[in-house]
């Protein structure tokens, strides 16, 4: 853990920083979440279980290697608070923090072995403007800092937001999801092992659409990593 500077200590006195989970005042060396709350995170340990429910969702998918999520997601609990701060609280730094956290937690398991490139699930241009940042990109940025694996935002692009669940029947929705993402420079991804990063895994439809867009690259391999996951 980085030692706080004198400026950090003075800022802490003037503007106390609070744990986003319990509201307790953070110690100078703590960031975003206090040590007590960190020790009680609802971790999935999916990276230690190759047949975890998230990976099972993609069994049979050509080129699929591994899938994991750091936390179980429940709207009202710890992971829900973290995701709310990241997506709606204007706190992109918490994404970087948990990207670094995941990098450290998963590294020893070999989860990142052989991965050539991190690709965060992109937002549509409108959503990106509205939020001011892409939360998945912030997570991937932290992960890249710790693992040294390069991050690309130059390959995968989102053309629009997800289609509404209610406005379309299931077949129309599936069709619409297929054309949600576009790919640039596919030739540079041939034979690469790409780790797709997102904030929350729910139905898997968004990640499936990303995999669909990338799967045209010859010899490409995929792994998936999200900060939280509804599947248990």
- For the chain, the helix, strand and coil percentages under 3-state DSSP, each to the nearest 5: 40, 20, 45
Q: Where are the alpha helices (DSSP H) in the chain?
A: 6-14, 35-39, 53-56, 78-88, 92-107, 125-131, 135-147, 170-178, 205-214
By CB under 5 A, residue 29 contacts Zn ion = no
Query: Among residues 34 and 196, whose Cβ is nearest to Zn ion?
Result: 34
- CB nearer Zn ion, residue 55 or residue 78: 78
Residue among 31, 32, 37, 73 that touches Zn ion (CB under 5 A): 37
Residue range at the interface with Zn ion (CB under 5 A); choices 9-17, 26-34, 54-62, 137-145: 26-34
Identify which of residues 81 and 221 has a Cβ nearer to Zn ion in the complex.
Answer: 81
SS3 of residue 132 by DSSP: coil
Q: How far is the CB of 37 from Zn ion (least distance, A)?
A: 3
Q: What is the CA radius of gyration of the chain?
A: 18
Pairing of strands 221-229, 193-201: parallel
Q: Examine residue 22 and tell whether it contacts Zn ion (CB under 5 A).
A: yes
| Minimum CB distance to Zn ion smaller for 25 or for 160 | 25
CA nearest 53: which of 224, 220, 199, 171? 224
Does 85 bind Zn ion (CB under 5 A)? Our answer is: no
Site residue total, Zn ion (CB under 5 A): 5
Tell which positions 2-21 bind Zn ion, by CB under 5 A. 19, 21
Sheet holding 193-201, edge to edge: 64-72, 221-229, 193-201, 117-120
Closest approach of Cβ 200 to Zn ion, in Å? 21
Q: Which is nearer to Zn ion, 97 or 112 (CB)?
A: 97
Nearer to Zn ion, 23 or 148 (CB): 23
Nearest distance in Å: CB 78, Zn ion:
9
What own/partner pairs with CB < 8 Å and gap ≥ 24 does 36-40 have? 37/78, 40/78
Question: Whole-number minimum distance, CB 169 to Zn ion, in Å?
Answer: 44
Q: By the 8 A CB rule, do 224 and 143 touch? A: no
Q: Report the residue from 31, 32, 34, 200 that binds Zn ion according to the rule CB under 5 A.
A: 34
Give the whole-angstrom CA distance, residue 39 versus residue 173: 40
Residue ranges binding Zn ion (CB under 5 A): 19, 21-22, 34, 37
């Amino acid at each position: 853990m980085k030692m706080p500077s004198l400026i950090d200590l003075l800022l802490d006195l003037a503007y106390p920083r609070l744990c986003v989970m319990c509201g307790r005042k953070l110690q100078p060396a703590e960031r975003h979440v206090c040590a007590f709350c960190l020790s009680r995170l609802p971790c999935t340990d999916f990276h230690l279980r190759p047949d975890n429910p998230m990976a099972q969702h993609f069994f049979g998918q050509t080129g699929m290697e591994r899938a994991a999520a750091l936390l179980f997601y429940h709207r009202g609990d710890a992971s829900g608070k973290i995701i709310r701060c990241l997506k709606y609280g204007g706190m992109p730094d918490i994404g970087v923090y948990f990207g670094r956290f995941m990098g450290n937690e998963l590294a020893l398991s070999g989860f990142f072995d052989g991965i050539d490139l991190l690709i965060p699930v992109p937002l549509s241009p409108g959503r990106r403007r509205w939020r001011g940042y892409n939360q998945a990109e912030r997570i991937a940025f932290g992960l890249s800092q710790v693992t040294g694996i390069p991050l690309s935002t130059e390959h995968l692009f989102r053309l629009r937001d997800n289609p509404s669940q209610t406005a379309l029947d299931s077949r129309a929705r599936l069709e619409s999801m297929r054309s949600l993402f576009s790919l640039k420079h596919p030739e540079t991804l041939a034979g690469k092992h790409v780790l797709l990063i997102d904030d929350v895994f729910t139905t898997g439809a968004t990640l499936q659409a990303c995999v669909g867009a990338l799967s045209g690259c010859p010899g490409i391999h995929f792994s998936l990593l999200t900060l939280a996951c509804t599947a248990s």
